[in-house]
Chain A
Amino acid sequence: MSDLNTRMIEKYRNDFLKEVEANVEEGEWVKMCMQCGVCSGSCPLGKHWAHPPQEIFMMIRAGKREEVLTSDSMWMCTSCYNCIVRCPRELPITHIMHGLATYSKKLGLVPKGQPTATFAEIFWNNMMKKGRVNELKLGLSLYFKDGFGQGIKNAMANQKLGMSMMKAKRMSPAEFFGGHGIKDVGGLQKMIKKAQELEEARMKKFD
């Protein structure tokens, strides 16, 4: 467990809702949920997770910190926005789900080997290198995330997709050698760093 996690546990003690309001993107909306259940019923993925959004929001209020932050639920959200469209109280549910995922990542509480979390990390690192996503490398690192043998199998299985992406110029074999980037990668990296600092500062503010 990370230091930050221990610090946050100490800071908020029994008030997980307050912690979420302070640290999670759009977290201040959680208390607006009236537990109607429409989001859960409308979520196409709801069947596949431990806790639908409505339940997550109730768990936050009930102070189930550990269960929420180590859950895989928020990682399963595909950003389809069904829930946002339907919510009678206009909660930005999708954003809260992603906010929770980000927060759990920050605290080092993501369940081990959670595929979307792994993908998100690969995507992020890939993008930060050049300022653009290198589709080829992204694809390859994803295929090979579970080892070399499995990687070849994955790549073969998705050969057709790769070929059509190349045809549509969505992916180029030349990307393997460096690949294209934006003009000022350093600038982008500085910008992101600044954003991260601002976020830290925001978290500190809620003492």
Chain B
Amino acid sequence: MTEVVATNQTILVVGGGISGMTAALEAAEAGAQVVLVEKRPYLGGRTSQLYKYFPKLCHPTCGLEINQRRAKMNPNLTILTSAEVTGLEGEPGNYTATVKITPTYVNDNCTACGECAKAVEAEFDDEYNYGLSKRKGAYLPHVMAHPMKYVLDPRIIGTDDAQKAKDACKYDAIDLDMEEREINFPVGAVVWATGWQPYDAAKIQPYGYDRFENVISSVEFERMADPKGPTGGKIVRPSDGKEAKNVAFIQCAGSRDRNHLWHCSRICCMASLKQTHYVVDAYGDDAQVSIYYIDIRAIDRFEDFYARVKAMDNVKFIKSKVASITLNKENGNPVLNGVDTEGYHRYANEHDLVVLAIGMQPSVGMDEFPVEVSLNREGFIEPSEENGGVFPAGCAADALDVNRAVQSATGAALKAIQVVNRVAGAEG
């Protein structure tokens, strides 16, 4: 079990997504002592659930792997997974953090051999795949998980499955008596990088996300396109498993809307342009993509990416916020209804599959922060004196793509270093 050695010159990083990892590594490599606390059993956050990155269309695992290697090599960095910051008291240069560590029932002996998963029978929705597939009650969160350790689902504890898992393990890695722990330690400054969550698509009632199987969200589509994902990388319809060649994207699903999220989520135009490549790569000339949009916000250097997608013959851009989705009961096709702004033509277009380019909202609710911070109307942390020694990074600060999240994290790390350096200076 990891012990935490910390002082009031230590930097606490909350959240181990790309932003938190970046902030932690930058600070540690600059010589600061860092404790990184991540709620999930593994690092990487939501980028680990993406298939490819825009704009280069490379795989996120590549960047994450480099970061994991950097983390392993750095003695200044302590990583706590399955851990959550539940309290933070004090002032810049002198905070006490309270962290709750949830048991995974698996210790560091685990070799990820996978025998426990084979022995266990109970299955649950796989959160890594946004519930598109099932996983066992003993599982590796995903194939590239870091730390590379299995986890027992707390729901099997006390059932036969738990014992079966333990009996299957040849390395004495399963400890069914593990309990929740709470630890306290001093820190001087905090980088808050808890990231984002997708807006609840079911709240956009006229789109019928909860009624129509072939209406899915963009985060689910990322998993579907991934060869390691729930469909083995096949772009198919959830209702009947048929190939989905005629795919529609609905932009601003939940964003830029006073009934939902007021802000523009900034990444979803690019995400749909990227996902258009997934469809075209899968079906070539047979692919047909329609993007329903208000404005395409492919900012600065992303303009080229947009131009290239626009030039594709089998991609249509329809300037219109779709009013409603209905179902063609005969073939399970979602039917998109609305009026086209370029000419005001009324349409009712059928597609095989509809992807909602879902908005981004902060993962921590407005009243769930364990510490006083200044929040804007959307719940993102605003830079402010009020925040004391707490510095927001990445999507906890705003809806950002990876590149901008990383920049923001580097800035936050620098601010945190300044605080702990002042402490060091004062203490001599």
Residues of A bordering B, CB below 8 Å: 34-38, 40-42, 46-47, 51-52, 54-55, 85-90
Contacting A at CB under 8 A, from B301-336, are: 319-324
Asked if A52 contacts B339 (CB within 8 A), the reply is yes
Known: A41-B337, A41-B339, A54-B341. A47 touches B346 (CB 8 A): yes
A54 CA to B257 CA, complexed, in Å: 16
Known: A37-B321, A41-B323, A42-B323. A88 touches B341 (CB 8 A): no
Residues of B bordering A, CB below 8 Å: 206, 252, 256-259, 294, 319-324, 337-341, 344, 346
Asked if A46 contacts B339 (CB within 8 A), the reply is yes
Who on chain B is nearest to A83 by CB? B323
Who on chain A is nearest to B256 by CB? A88
Asked if B338 contacts A38 (CB within 8 A), the reply is yes
Asked if B259 contacts A37 (CB within 8 A), the reply is no
List the B side residues contacting A35 at CB < 8 Å.
294, 341
**Cβ contact of A42, chosen from B319, B324, B340, cutoff 8 A:** B324
Q: How far is the CB of A133 from chain B (nearest CB, A)?
A: 34
Asked if A38 contacts B344 (CB within 8 A), the reply is no
Asked if B324 contacts A41 (CB within 8 A), the reply is yes
- A41-B321, A51-B344 provided; 15 other pairs, C-beta below 8 A? A35-B294, A35-B341, A36-B294, A38-B322, A40-B346, A41-B338, A41-B346, A42-B206, A46-B346, A52-B339, A52-B344, A86-B259, A88-B259, A88-B321, A90-B258
Asked if A88 contacts B338 (CB within 8 A), the reply is no
Known: A37-B320, A40-B323, A86-B206. A54 touches B259 (CB 8 A): no
Asked if A40 contacts B344 (CB within 8 A), the reply is yes
**Cβ contact of A37, chosen from B256, B257, B323, cutoff 8 A:** B323
List the A side residues contacting B320 at CB < 8 Å.
36-37, 41
A46 CA to B338 CA, complexed, in Å: 10
> Binding site of B, secondary structure by majority: helix, strand, loop or mixed?
loop
Who on chain A is nearest to B337 by CB? A41
Asked if B338 contacts A37 (CB within 8 A), the reply is yes
List the A side residues contacting B258 at CB < 8 Å.
87-90
Known: A34-B294, A47-B346. A41 touches B257 (CB 8 A): no
Asked if A38 contacts B259 (CB within 8 A), the reply is no
Known: A37-B320, A42-B324. A55 touches B344 (CB 8 A): yes
A34 CA to B256 CA, complexed, in Å: 10
Known: A41-B337, A41-B339, A88-B259. A36 touches B321 (CB 8 A): yes
List the A side residues contacting B319 at CB < 8 Å.
37
Who on chain A is nearest to B322 by CB? A41
Who on chain A is nearest to B258 by CB? A90
List the B side residues contacting A46 at CB < 8 Å.
339, 346
8 interchain pairs, CB-CB under 8 A: A36-B252, A37-B319, A38-B321, A38-B338, A41-B324, A42-B324, A85-B259, A88-B256
Who on chain A is nearest to B321 by CB? A36
**Cβ contact of A54, chosen from B206, B252, B322, B339, cutoff 8 A:** B339
List the A side residues contacting B206 at CB < 8 Å.
42, 86
A38 CA to B252 CA, complexed, in Å: 12
List the B side residues contacting A87 at CB < 8 Å.
258
List the A side residues contacting B257 at CB < 8 Å.
88
A88 CA to B259 CA, complexed, in Å: 6
A38 CA to B258 CA, complexed, in Å: 13
Who on chain B is nearest to A40 by CB? B339
Asked if B346 contacts A37 (CB within 8 A), the reply is no
List the A side residues contacting B339 at CB < 8 Å.
37, 40-41, 46, 52, 54
List the A side residues contacting B322 at CB < 8 Å.
38, 41
List the B side residues contacting A36 at CB < 8 Å.
252, 294, 320-321, 341
Known: A47-B346, A89-B258, A90-B258. A37 touches B324 (CB 8 A): no
Q: How far is the CB of B260 from chain A (nearest CB, A)?
A: 8
List the A side residues contacting B259 at CB < 8 Å.
85-86, 88
List the B side residues contacting A90 at CB < 8 Å.
258
List the B side residues contacting A40 at CB < 8 Å.
323, 338-339, 344, 346
List the A side residues contacting B337 at CB < 8 Å.
41
A89 CA to B339 CA, complexed, in Å: 17
Asked if A38 contacts B323 (CB within 8 A), the reply is yes
Q: How far is the CB of B277 from chain A (nearest CB, A)?
A: 26
Q: How far is the CB of A131 from chain B (nearest CB, A)?
A: 39
A41 CA to B339 CA, complexed, in Å: 5
A52 CA to B322 CA, complexed, in Å: 15
A90 CA to B259 CA, complexed, in Å: 8
Who on chain B is nearest to A36 by CB? B321
A139 CA to B53 CA, complexed, in Å: 66
List the B side residues contacting A41 at CB < 8 Å.
320-324, 337-339, 346
A85 CA to B190 CA, complexed, in Å: 42
Q: How far is the CB of B248 from chain A (nearest CB, A)?
A: 14
